[in-house]
Structure 1
Amino acid sequence: MRFVIQLVAAVAVAFLAGQAVTATQDTVWPQLAAGVAGAVLAMLAYYWVVRLTEKREVTEAAAGPAAGGLVRGTLLGLALFAGVIGNIAVNGGYRVHGLSDEPLAAVGLIGFMAAAVVTEEVMFRGVLFRHVEKLTGTWLALALSALAFGAVHLLNENASLWGALCVAIAGGGMLTSAYIATRSLWLPIGLHFGWNYAQSAIFSTEVSGNGLKPGLLDSELTGDRWISGGTFGPEASLSTLMAGVIVTAVFLWLAHRRGNVVPPRHRAASTLVR
């Protein structure tokens, strides 16, 4: 029941935030304000509903580590995507023609991405992964929540099965492992925001096939779709897939060193019996 209540609350806030951002999508400053407000509301709603239903301190959303986690995650996300798009460009899959006709759109996209990222992290890491992990242990919960994360991207405008699978493996794996390593939502939120913002607002590429308008640059993805990601965007490229797997492995190594990996329930039970 706790899971259902928390999920319903997260979905409801995500819907409201999405409606607000969509209603302001053609106006830069209102979109920025609506998106940031939606992101803040999503975190407050998560904190409140978890505290209400689980009667505990919500350590994964504690305010203390927020600034550090968000800054580190955002910088890492920006750097990772810059490396990915650089590799795509070197291999002939990305080209820049200059500044876009509406460079200020990059400001509005701060709000759009803030709302989208926070609501997704709350749903998939804060609610889904955390509850499934209690039942199955870390590894199966990681796989199941990552697949669910990829599957919802099939609803996007230019979705493809390959693109959704890449999102599941690279995005779902990377973001969930960041949560496992830190047991905090702030680092994955920052990482997710930095990655998505770099794609949309800086390099003006598709984000998971969602058909967003360009940000700062006038650019295009060209050539082989295995290199560029095609109409789905760079997240369907082999460069993203490789980068996501490597970063996931690093975070899982850190999680193991920190003792943050939860064993399957049957294994935990057998250990207790001994």
Structure 2
Amino acid sequence: MSNETAEASPTRSGPPRWLRPLGARLVFLLVVFLAFESLLTPLLTAAARNPVTGILAGVAAAATALYAYAKLVSWLEERDTPEISRATARPQLIRGTLIGVGLFCLTLALMFVSNAYRLHGGSFGDMIGTFGLMLGVAVIEELLFRGVLFRIVEERWGSTIALIVSGVLFGGLHLLNPDATVWGALAVAIEGGLLAGAAYAATRTLWLPIGIHLGWNFAESGIFGATVSGADTTVGGLFTGTPHGPAILSGGEFGPEASIWAVLIGGVAAYLLVRKARKRGNWR
């Protein structure tokens, strides 16, 4: 066969010139995924009131966000997206979810010891619906804050600046919640933002931070019925719970994430993951 009849291999179509600079790419992706969060979170919350629709909505929202991330990043950066590779999805997601559940259970155990939390009866159906809600939220927020913000800031200024910037903005977003406080937002920045950023840096996959985020939020609200980050949108869990005693121990109306115990547990876990990232040569 002659060269004239050979088919040319397909080439990936790149973005327009104005989207190629790092800053433009960052802003564009932030706007897209902030829009995803703004549009999908109310729908997820409404769907979570029924266990079946809650699970279906959570899976659909997660799949949509992951598909959008893969397509947009591949187009903008002209590369594949190994950070959400299917090969690492199952083990890292399971591992992260178990870590998240374990860290919150340890936090709650310390709250029980300090007489800062009381449990009452709840609903199995509410637990299932809340799992769907938290699945969608975890995927969307981790794509936004770690897949976009942390990763692109790190590309220019390194891992330390990326960890601080993504953590602070992640905590700051929670100031929009109804019962938000400055201390609560700072606590979330440490135990959530730094922890998830360190998890991404240690593994270079988004599945571990997604799993940790999902496991923590699901245990917090879906199992133990606590308020998550000052938000009043969750439908409940297997149990219902009420804070008791000083807010520094119980978290008060913001929920357990504003407890000093949560900050200590999340902060120590983040430190250990940063150490692992450095040991593996993943700290840039």
Q: Does 1:225 align with 2:247?
A: yes
Instruction: State the partner residue of 1:238.
Output: 260
Cα drift, residue 138 of structure 1: 0.8
**Is the 1:17–1:39 Cα contact (8 Å) retained in structure 2?**
no
Instruction: State the partner residue of 1:3.
Output: 26
Cα drift, residue 214 of structure 1: 2.2
**Is the 1:13–1:41 Cα contact (8 Å) retained in structure 2?**
no
What are the superposed Cα offsets for residues 206-249 of structure 1, whole Å, 9 maximum, x if unpaired? 11011223211132110111111111011001101111111011
Distance 2:131 2:241 in 1: 19
TM-score, structure 1 normalization: 0.92
Question: Could you tell me which amino acid in structure 1 is paired with residue 176 of structure 2?
Answer: L
Cα drift, residue 25 of structure 1: 3.8
| Identical-residue share of aligned pairs (%) | 41
Which range moves more in the overlay, 111-120 or 7-16? 7-16
Distance 1:164 1:23 in 2: 25
Which range moves more in the overlay, 128-137 or 177-186? 128-137
What 5-or-longer segments of structure 1 have no aligned partner?
263-274
Q: Does 1:51 align with 2:74?
A: yes
Q: List, as ranges, runs of 4+ consecutive aligned residues in structure 1 with deviation greater than 6 Å.
A: none
**Is the 1:31–1:112 Cα contact (8 Å) retained in structure 2?**
yes
Looking at CA atoms only, which structure, 1 or 2, has the larger radius of gyration?
2
Distance 1:180 1:157 in 2: 32
Change (3 A) 1:45 1:28: same
Instruction: State the partner residue of 2:273.
Output: 251
Which range moves more in the overlay, 66-75 or 128-137? 128-137
SS of equivalent residue, structure 1 residue 104: helix
Distance 2:45 2:103 in 1: 28
Cα drift, residue 253 of structure 1: 0.5
SS of equivalent residue, structure 1 residue 65: helix
Which one of 132, 156, 171 corresponds to residue 135 of structure 1? 156
What are the superposed Cα offsets for residues 44-97 of structure 1, whole Å, 9 maximum, x if unpaired? 111110001101111111110000010000001111100100110110001123
Say what the alpha-carbon RMSD is for the aligned residues. 1.2
What are the superposed Cα offsets for residues 139-193 of structure 1, whole Å, 9 maximum, x if unpaired? 1111111000000000111111100000011211111000000010000000110
Q: Does 1:180 align with 2:212?
A: no
Question: Could you tell me which amino acid in structure 1 is paired with residue 85 of structure 2?
Answer: A
Distance 1:145 1:13 in 2: 18
Which one of 63, 66, 76 corresponds to residue 40 of structure 1? 63
Instruction: State the partner residue of 2:47.
Output: 24
